[in-house]
Amino acid sequence: MGSVFRSAEMSLCQIFLQSEAAYTCVSELGELGLVQFKDLNPDVNAFQRKFVNEILRCDEMERKLRYIDKELKKDDMKIPDTGENPKAPAPKEMVDLEATFEKIESELREVNTNAEALRRNYLELSELKEVLKKTQNFFAEHGEGHHTIVDDAQNALVHDEMATTSATAVQLGFVAGVIPREKVPAFERLLWFACRGNVFLRIDEIAKPLEDPVTGDAIFKCVFIIFFQGEQLKLRVRKICEGFRATLYPCPESSQERSEMLNGVSTRLEDLNTVLHQTEDHRHRVLANCLKEIRNWIIKVKKIKAIYHTLNMCNFDVSHNSLIAECWTPVSALENVQQALSHGTELSGSTVPSILHRMHTKETPPTFFHTNKFTKVFQSIVHSYGIASYQEVNPALYTIITFPFLFAVMFGDLGHGFIMFLFGLWMVVMEKKLMSSKSDNEIWNMFFGGRYIIMLMGLFSVYTGFIYNDAFSKSLNMFGSSWHPNYSEPLLDSVETLVLDPEYEFDNVTGPYPFGLDPIWQASKNKITFTNSFKMKLSVILGIGQMLLGVMLSLVNHIYFRNPLNIFTEFIPEIVFLLCLFGYLVGLIFFKWATFTVHCSTCAPSLLIHFINMFLFSYTMPNDNFNYQCDHTNPKLTGCKATTVFYRYQNYAQIALVLGAVLCIPIMLCIKPFVLRARHNRKIRVSIES
Amino acid sequence: MGSMPEMYFNIDHGYLEGLVRGFKAGILKQGDYLNLVQCETLDDLKLHLQSTDYGNFLANEPSPLSVSVIDDKLKEKLVIEFQHLRNQCLEPLASFLDFITYSYMIDNIILLITGTLHQRPINELIPKCHPLGSFEQMEAIHIASTPAELYNALHTLLIAYLEDFYSFCNEMGGATADVMCEALQFEADRRAFIITINSFGTELSKEDRAKLYPRCGRLYPDGLSLLAKADDYDQVRAVADCYGGYRELFEGVGTNPGDKTLEDRFFEQEVKLMKNAFMQQYHFGAFYAYVKLKEQENRNIIWISECVAQRHRAKIDSYIPIF
């Protein structure tokens, strides 16, 4: 179904849908997933479109489903994911769905309100129980002098002018209640200020937390008791308690009444507990009933909404009672679209078929790539740089190999690469199971989405690991090193470092290490210097090679779009510039590798210096008796160093290349804009004349 | 390098200024208002607001919608955004944002005390308070025994707040002082005008009235003394004529259809000042301006919602356009 080489050929189609069949046809097209509808009503407001009522109904249904979902989450009931993908139901069934949701929502709301009221009741009774228990303690006789709390209060509040004997005790009123723990300090302060110190307050903490009826959170509260004298203070105390949301409870004075009340409250609490449990069970049953269906419902409602959004984009033709839609679809998929349309018409029971016909247009079609699970990740990496325009060459095809390969060139470790490969392989083999577990973890999803690329990167890294001879940063010696030191044993034992001259200590008979870097470099001090030079040259070769591939692909684009102006003003200067400067550098690298041996190593040119001098037009010529051959002649005699010219007529060749490259720059920059401007002016003149 | 505070502004406040400018970009434009006035029902309004920065803020409200629900949700959105700014900020921006909330707190206290004076239960009053100005012990207000005294104290509190805010911004210097001092001067003068005009025909004596004027505006001291002596609307207008910028506000005001009220003119001027606040960068005025503009936008949306809900579309265009 289309190649990876270019984006798929698209065609603009017009579809005539009969009103009865429109819904099912769009549903079938949606399931197919190969059609992009154009919005034919861009100026119309969202709330003035044709199917706005149905969309409002869908919004309402979604709201109810969200509410049910929230309730399920509150009870920690996980929605089972069967992987089913139900189709959108017919519009008649929408009414049934609405009724079902309405019923479930109202039932849930009712149960919740009841449960909340019960819990509130439970909270009040628990608090009352605590108040009764604690006031029991407050009023209990304690201490040697059998002081009761009332005596304490009397002593605190009543002035000394009165008789200190308890015979003339003034009647004190009191209130008892419960207040949240965090409000206690502010409460005490305000009481002191507002009542000018004429109240006596005692606080005792409730050890275990109580449950908030609405949210279910644990709240810590304290029991308090306030003694005061007179009606005015009583009113003030009540107001302060109201302001701090402290609940007051009627507390009888005598100990016997209190214990009776306590028993009564305890029995009521037990009864409430049972009722609460039953309510919770009922709620659980309601929720369990919808647990199986809710995922399907959510999908169905989403599909209904999407269908109506799509229908809103169509034009309504009143004369023929049909909807006209315009859409983009790949040419290769036209038959499938036709089939889907006829299937949809069949399902809806309409006798008039829906018509699809291709339109010709000058508009640029959208870019569409067919991807499978393997190419998807490479295509998305390319998309992050930008999406290709219609029918341009698709870089993703080459990225499949170049991306993992260049990664491997940078990674280059046999051992770590193998581990990476195994990780990728595991993810690929367990694909189905891992995909169905549907994790929320973003980082895991990123890794899992890139399983193919991770596997390839690991595999290529194993290869480059062999070339760099690097396994967990150690070298493998599989074939025997080609360097044989020529030193005596005692010398080897006594000295720490020795120099191995490649002229004498390198085995020229058997040749170099067959595959990869010689393991002797692991032991050498100048390993980094050597491998740096190798890796830099390799990077330059690979990089410029890839750039050359890119420029060649642009040539393919220019030929396909029949754009000779681009070939002459873009491609040719680009390729000349690239090859004259950087292609030449790559050539020099290969030349140096091929022709310079150990015998003329002092004359081996430093490519970096030569490249810089090329742009500075500065050349160091060797002495006259230098014959540009690699032999044992004395470097001092020939005057050749790393910076001297190393092949005949090098200076002339390089000057020519630099001038050629520099000439390309104005060609690239200046010619095309003027040509385009001339074309544009000509077009305007023609349109004015006609 | 102390003379270039703009260099260091972004270290502490860069993220929040960027965020507040993003919020400002989400304020409804003229095109949105044109669409909103075409709505027939509140559901249409909700549908259009879905495509703006408000998104699905009404998504979980059961239909039918009511204007009070929309009002609550609009306020909630502003509060969430403001709380986020307040939670992420450092000094001195934190003090600045607190200053902004003080005015709402004072309004809430006035509301609660007035309600208590009229014997309303506290539970009825608390939901009417503005959420930006809620603070602990707000509910303990109603225990005050002599609310009448507190009432007068509150007005001096309001004046003290404005003057405090003004001196705070003045001390900060730089662009903050430029923008905020102008805004607060306008606020002070506006209060002076409104108090004067509202006091005609009441028992408020001229000396008492003079005590209620904030002193941080442009009218201090001459204009305020003239206003204190004013007896009717024309004298107030004469005072305004002496000040450039206030003269135009009194033009075109009247009770004929097609005329605007004085409050509307003041709102328009406030919107203009607040929009100018965004012209400069690296100052706190942007935060104040954002809160004020959002308040105006909420008033606009509620006005249009009321007109739509009551099907009385005659004055639906009387909202104050912002952008």
pLDDT tens figures, A323-334: 999 999 999 999
pLDDT given at position A639: 78
Is the confidence at residue A524, as pLDDT, over 60?
yes
Contact A314, A49 (CB under 8 A): no
One-letter amino acid for residue A475 of the chain: S
CA torsion sign, A478 to A481 to A482 to A488?
A: negative
Cis peptide bond upstream of B221, omega within 30: yes
pLDDT at A416: 97
Contact B159, B214 (CB under 8 A): yes
d(CA A344, CA A342): 5
B38 touches chain A (CB under 8 A): yes
Q: Smallest Cβ distance to A240: which of B40, B51, B140?
A: B140
Tokens standing for residue A597: 């041996």
Query: Token pair for residue A647?
Result: 């092949």
Mean pLDDT throughout A506-520? 91
Instruction: Among A45, A53, A56, A195, pick the best mutation site for testing chain B contact (most B Cβ within 10 A).
Output: A45
The encoded tokens of residue A330 equal 């790949």
pTM of the model: 0.81
Kind and range of the H or E run holding A498: none
Task: Determine what percent of chain A is predicted with pLDDT higher than 90.
Answer: 61
Closest partner residue to A63 among B51, B59, B139, by Cβ? Answer: B59
| Helix, strand or coil, per DSSP, at residue A88 | coil
Of B63, B136, B143, Cβ closest to residue A239 = B143
- Please report the pLDDT score of residue B33 as a whole number: 94
Please state, as a whole number, how many other Cβ atoms lie within 10 Å of the Cβ of residue A37.
20
Q: Does B262 touch chain A (CB under 8 A)?
A: no
DSSP per-residue letters across B90-151: -TTHHHHHHHHHHHHHHHHHHHHHHHHHTT--HHHHGGGS-GGG--TTGGGGGG-S-HHHHH
Q: What is the pLDDT of residues A159-194, one digit of tens each?
A: 554 444 444 456 778 889 999 998 899 889 888 888
**Which chain A residue is nearest to residue B52, measuring alpha carbons?**
A46
Is the pLDDT score of A3 beyond 80?
no
How far is residue B174's CA from residue B179's CA, in Å, rounded to a whole number?
9
Q: Name every residue whose Cβ is closer than 8 Å to that of residue A284 and which is 6 or more positions away in sequence.
A: A75
Q: Looking at the complex, does the CB of residue B172 fall below 8 Å from at least one CB of chain A?
A: no
Residue type at position B182: E
d(CA A165, CA A524) in angstroms, rounded, equals 104
pLDDT above 80: residue A322: yes
| Single-letter residue type at B290 | Y
Q: Which residues pair with B153 in a beta bridge?
A: none
Q: Which of B63, B122, B142 sits opposite A60 (nearest CB)?
A: B63
* Mean pLDDT split into 10-residue runs, chain B, 323 residues: 78 94 95 92 91 90 89 95 95 94 90 82 84 81 63 82 94 91 94 89 84 89 89 89 87 73 91 94 94 96 94 89 92
Q: How far is B249 from chain A (nearest CA, A)?
A: 36
pLDDT tens sequence across A136-165: 887 775 544 445 667 777 777 765 544 444
Residues of A in contact with B139 (CB under 8 A): 243-245
Percentage of chain A beyond pLDDT 70 is 96
Which tokens in the block code for residue A674? 């003027």
Q: For residue A504, what pLDDT band results from cuts at 50, 70 and 90?
A: confident
pLDDT of residue A518: 94
Chain A interface includes B142 (CB < 8 A): yes
pLDDT in tens, A632-665: 777 777 778 888 888 888 999 999 999 999 999 9
Three-state SS string over A141-161 comes to CECCCCECHHHHHHHHHCCCC
Following CA atoms A45, A46, A48, A53 in sequence, which dihedral angle do they give, to the nearest 10 degrees?
A: 180
Contacts 24+ apart (CB under 8 A), A55-60: A55/A305, A55/A308, A55/A309, A55/A312, A55/B47, A56/B43, A56/B47, A56/B63, A57/A94, A57/A98, A58/A301, A58/A304, A58/A305, A58/A308, A59/A305, A59/B59, A60/A98, A60/B63
Structure tokens at A270: 């037990």
Taking only the tens place, the pLDDT of each residue in A26-53 is: 999 999 999 999 999 988 888 888 899 9
Q: Measuring CA to CA, how many Å separate B17 from each of A654, B12, B286?
A: 56, 10, 7
pLDDT of A144 reads: 43
